[in-house]
Amino acid sequence: MTTSVGILFAVMGCAILCLAVVTFALARQVGVIHQRIGPVGALALSKTVRVGEKSPEFRLDTLDGEPVVLGAPDPDGRSTLITFLTPKCPVCAQLLPALRSIARKESSWLQLVFASDGNPAEHTEFRTRSRLDDFAYVLSPELGMTYEIGKLPYGVLLDENGFVAAQGLTNSREHVESLFEAKRLGVSSIQEFLEHQEEGRVLIARGSQQPS
């Protein structure tokens, strides 16, 4: 009887071990697939205010009570990256170190503004805890509704004249920097640029196949 119980436990142990190995392998494969199909740039969603259009002007107060104007020509000729986030968004929290680094690196041409809505006290505590005291932080439901913000973190890049230069989900530093590259290339998103490149390659390939 004791021997049978021992064998049963041994079989169960082997089954659990095999299950753990299979689970680990599946999780790793899912991660590989996610990396392969992940967007090369910030994914732009359909918006009321589209890239290339003039943004409405917003005259808002920061959490410190300082006035800030969004959507108007910048007197210093800088672009503005509006990053929409919430204190309860874990991806937003992971992105903040990269945003602080980008703000320092690109300060000659870019200013960073954080935007959200909700309880001012909660956001004030979050701003201090996240070391964002040096940046403008505004609470405005109207701002979010204008850009139809439904997923976070989301970035809207306004050029120096208040036009929407690029926008999209910004889950990583690469996504944020892809907004800058989209602005430089004059496209709404890196996806659009790659699609145009692919269309060009197809047209060239078709042309080369035409009989001379």
Q: pLDDT 10s per residue in the chain (212 long)?
A: 555 655 655 656 666 665 655 454 444 443 433 333 344 555 555 457 889 999 999 999 999 999 999 999 999 999 999 999 999 999 999 999 999 999 999 999 999 999 999 999 999 999 999 999 999 999 999 999 999 998 999 999 999 999 999 999 999 999 999 999 999 988 766 666 566 455 444 434 444 555 55
Give the 3-state secondary structure of residue 199.
Answer: helix
User: Of 135, 152, 158, which is closest to residue 58 (Cα–Cα)?
Assistant: 158
Looking at residue 186, its pLDDT comes to: 84
Coarse DSSP helix, strand, coil percentages of the chain, rounded to the nearest 5 percent: 45, 20, 35
With left for phi above 0 and alpha for psi between -120 and 50, is residue 177 left, alpha or beta? alpha
Amino acid at 161: N
CB within 8 Å of 115: residues ≥ 6 apart: 82, 83, 84, 85, 137, 138, 139, 140, 143, 144
CATH superfamily of the domain spanning 58-196: Glutaredoxin (3.40.30.10)
Q: Which two tokens stand for residue 19?
A: 């299950």
From the list 106, 105, 95, the residue with the least C-alpha distance to 114 is 95
